[in-house]
Amino acid sequence: MGSASDRILRSAGRRHLPRDSLDIALVNPVAWDSLASFIESEPCLRRQRGRVLARNSFRNPWFGTVSAKLTKAFPTVAGQSLEITADMYNVLNLLNRGWGQSYLTIRDPWVRRLSLAGYDANVGRGDLRLALPRL
């Protein structure tokens, strides 16, 4: 299971990343600009244009959060106590704004981005329909 970027072309039956508009047959050729922008916006896709994607090359970086809890009990009357608690979520982000953050390219990676709409026997390849997410 890879990241969302890894699954962009899986629905087309290939993991070949098009280098330019001549490298892919889209039902709506105007959609190439959107696809090209998406590819350029992702460093892992941009590096592999015009090639079959390397296996496991699109893994999201490690993500972790650290939470902390401070408690202090104050004795009161008759053996009872009053406890004050402070919970801190994502402490790493308090230390550095770039830490403890998760970045998603696509919110729902299981939705097909490219789907086979037909087959062009003249050129021997499928015609693909593009459906990129709105971010």
Q: CB of 104 within 8 A of CB of 7?
A: no
Q: Are residues 122 and 83 in the same domain?
A: no
Mean local confidence (pLDDT), 2-9: 43
- Residue 113 zone, left/alpha/beta (φ > 0; ψ -120 to 50; rest): alpha
What string of DSSP letters covers 17-43?
PPSSGGG--BSSGGGHHHHHHHHHH-H
Q: CB of 82 within 8 A of CB of 73?
A: yes
Count structural domains, the chain: 2
Residue 120 bridge partners (DSSP): 125
Q: Are residues 78 and 88 in the same domain?
A: yes
Q: Are residues 31 and 54 in the same domain?
A: yes
Q: What range defines the domain where residue 16 resides? A: 5-59+103-130
Q: Are residues 14 and 48 in the same domain?
A: yes
How do residues 23-82 score in pLDDT, each as one tens digit?
888 888 888 888 888 888 888 888 888 888 787 776 666 677 788 999 999 999 988 999
Q: CB of 104 within 8 A of CB of 4?
A: yes
Q: Are residues 53 and 108 in the same domain?
A: yes
Q: Are residues 42 and 68 in the same domain?
A: no
Residue 122 in any domain: the answer is yes
Four-CA torsion 63, 9, 28, 30, nearest 10 degrees? 50
Q: Are residues 29 and 53 in the same domain?
A: yes
pTM of the model: 0.53
Residue 135 in any domain: the answer is no
Q: Are residues 83 and 94 in the same domain?
A: yes
